[in-house]
C-alpha cells in the first residue's frame, strides 16, 4: 500500500486523482501545513525539503 503524505491542496489532489485513476491502493496521512506539521522532524525524515505531497 502506498502512503501519501498530503493535505487538501491542488498538488495534493493531483496525486490522489492519479492514484484513483490507476486503481492503486493508498492510504492518506494528513500533514496540516496550516499548523506547520511539514516542519516536524518525523515528516522531514520523509520529505527533507518539507514539501507535500510526499509518497
pLDDT in tens, 23-54: 999 999 999 999 999 999 999 999 999 999 99
Cα separation, 13 vs 24, whole angstroms: 15
Whether 24 is covered by a domain: the verdict is no
- Whether the CA torsion 54, 38, 41, 6 is positive or negative: it is negative
Give the DSSP letter of residue 20: H
For 45, the domain range is 29-54
Report the domain count for the chain.
1
Q: So what's the pLDDT on residue 15?
A: 96
Whether 19 is covered by a domain: the verdict is no
- Helix and strand numbers, DSSP H then E, in the chain: 2, 2
Q: So what's the pLDDT on residue 12?
A: 93
Whether 2 is covered by a domain: the verdict is no
Is this prediction's pTM over 0.95?
no
Given a contact cutoff of 8 angstroms between Cβ atoms, the answer to whether 7 and 13 are in contact is no
Whether 17 is covered by a domain: the verdict is no
Whether 35 is covered by a domain: the verdict is yes
Amino acid at each position: 500500500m502506498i502512503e501519501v503524505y498530503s493535505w487538501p491542496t491542488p498538488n495534493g489532489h493531483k496525486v490522489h486523482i492519479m492514484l484513483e485513476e490507476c486503481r492503486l491502493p493508498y492510504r492518506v496521512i494528513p500533514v496540516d501545513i496550516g499548523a506547520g506539521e511539514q516542519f516536524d522532524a518525523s515528516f522531514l525524515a520523509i520529505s527533507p525539503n518539507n514539501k507535500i505531497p510526499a509518497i
